Amino acid sequence: MKQYRDRLHLKAPGAWINDPNGFIYFRGEYHLFYQFFPYGLEWGTMHWGHAVSRDLIHWEHQKVALFPTKSYDQNGCFSGSAIEENDKLYLFYTAVKYEAFNEENIHVIVNEQFESSQALLVTEDGYRFDNFGAKRQIIRPIADRKLGDRTHTRDPKVWKHQDDFYMVLGTKTAENEGKLLFYRSADLENWEFVNAYMRPGLGYMWECPDLFPAPADDCQQANVLIMSPEGIKEGMLYSSHAICSLVSFDHKTCELTMSDSYQMIDYGLDLYAPQTNVDAEGRRVMIAWMRMPKAVQEENGREPWVGMMSMPRVIEVEDDHIYFRVHPEVERSFSREMKAMELLDFREPFRMKTELKSGDAIDIGGYKIWVEGDRLHTDRSEVFAGLEGYDLQFQTPELKGRYQLDIFVEPNLIEIFVNNGQYVLSNVVYDLKPYLKGGIELKIKTMDYSGTDFQN
């Protein structure tokens, strides 16, 4: 498969991608791994794809990093995380082994008959991955049903606190309630279970947990939990969504307490499986998978592809509210001022800043944005034609009369940052038309490629 380059949004290099994995700043570069099925345009036996960037904006796809080689991961190297220690990169992932096979398609699961364990691969430089000699299984499939689920325990996120390392895993109870498992290690290889956390009524399986400190008011730190519970929104195709909440966490006991309320990470409901790490300046940054219901056909020499990532977002806490803000590197990248009439097509990313009033509306090539009832609303029905069972209209919580918008547009994704990241609403779209309507002032900028040789 060809090695592609992407700017602003990392996209599948052909075939299928989903969750971001192993997002880390290592030796002066950002590494972003991702769930990758290289053989088709649908979910299948997972590998770890790999892309590298120096600025979180320009990404260059690399060779596949992880692929099945062991009995315990023979049916997939699934989601996980990365940590640097002793100038090496430790990649943690969920290893999957099927117990039954579809005779016509070995890449699909048969009646949930599989087991999951947690595994590790260490790379010296972040580019060479010895899938045959450097893997080891570090947590075997869970046998105690009171602890967790033998099949559905996954997505290790690892971090260091003082002299020890910690891991959180998502799992489910026998009663189909979401649950978190916390482990501790002194050497990244030998792990001991410490504690668990449950909260009834919040979905039946908690995927992709991530626990971290984020900057808060008065130079303090707040503990933030993000995760993607399955089964928290019924009635449409996506019943699983990414949420975040302020929590308290004691590293000595691994006791977690979650606040009574939580936020949706993105109110467009396409975003899923976010992962965070710190950037070169120590900011807490998040990237997430944007779910796409159909493939984008061949363009600019790229094979048909499905799946892309969000822009990098900086996480900060103000007045007990979690903000997701535009990353400074994105700010710097959009520097060419343009007028609406100069946008001949929407093939290149562009950015619009504006402030709406109640009753104002914008139409971006068939994608509609307006304010009504103190909420921002969007409607993608004209640019999502023929796709049944998906949400088409969306809205933020109440905004208390402030409607400052920072809108990023490219052919298959629109991301709207409201009131400097108070809320974000992002929608996957198809077939945007090259026009802007609204009758309001729009400050438009595009990305500046002058002085670079960066191509798609």
3-state secondary structure of 102: coil
Residue 8's closest CA among 445, 437, 349, 398? 349
Residue 136's closest CA among 62, 188, 79, 78? 188
Q: What is the pLDDT along the chain (456 residues), one digit of tens a residue?
A: 567 899 999 999 999 999 999 999 999 999 999 999 999 999 999 999 999 999 999 999 999 999 999 999 999 999 999 999 999 999 999 999 999 999 999 999 999 999 999 999 999 999 999 999 999 999 999 999 999 999 999 999 999 999 999 999 999 999 999 999 999 999 999 999 999 999 998 999 999 999 999 999 877 899 999 999 999 875 556 789 999 999 999 999 999 999 888 999 999 999 999 999 999 999 999 999 999 999 999 777 789 999 999 999 999 999 999 999 999 999 999 999 988 878 878 888 999 999 999 989 999 999 999 999 999 999 999 999 888 888 999 999 999 999 999 999 999 999 999 999 999 999 999 999 999 998 888 899 999 865 455 544
- The CATH architecture to which 334-447 belongs is Sandwich (2.60)
Rounded Cα–Cα distance for residues 415 and 364 (Å): 12
E strands along 240-365, which residues?
243-250, 255-258, 263-264, 271-278, 284-290, 305-306, 308-309, 313-318, 321-326, 334-338, 350-355, 361-364
Rounded Cα–Cα distance for residues 39 and 133 (Å): 25
Rounded Cα–Cα distance for residues 227 and 225 (Å): 7
Residue 286's closest CA among 298, 296, 276, 273? 276
Polymer length of the chain: 456
**Which residue(s) pair with 61 in the sheet?**
51
DSSP, residue by residue, 326-342: E-HHHHHHEEEEE-GGG
The β-bridge relationship of strands 221-230 and 243-250 is antiparallel
Q: 5-326 adopts what CATH topology?
A: Tachylectin-2; Chain A (2.115.10)
Residue 407's closest CA among 369, 365, 374? 369
Rounded Cα–Cα distance for residues 188 and 277 (Å): 18
| Per-domain boundaries in the chain | 5-326, 334-447
Rounded Cα–Cα distance for residues 158 and 166 (Å): 6
Per DSSP, the chain holds a count of helices (H) and strands (E) of: 1, 35
3-state secondary structure of 37: strand
Q: What is the pLDDT of residues 170-200, one digit of tens each?
A: 999 999 999 999 999 999 999 999 999 999 9
CA 228 to chain CA centroid, nearest Å: 10
- Model pTM? 0.95
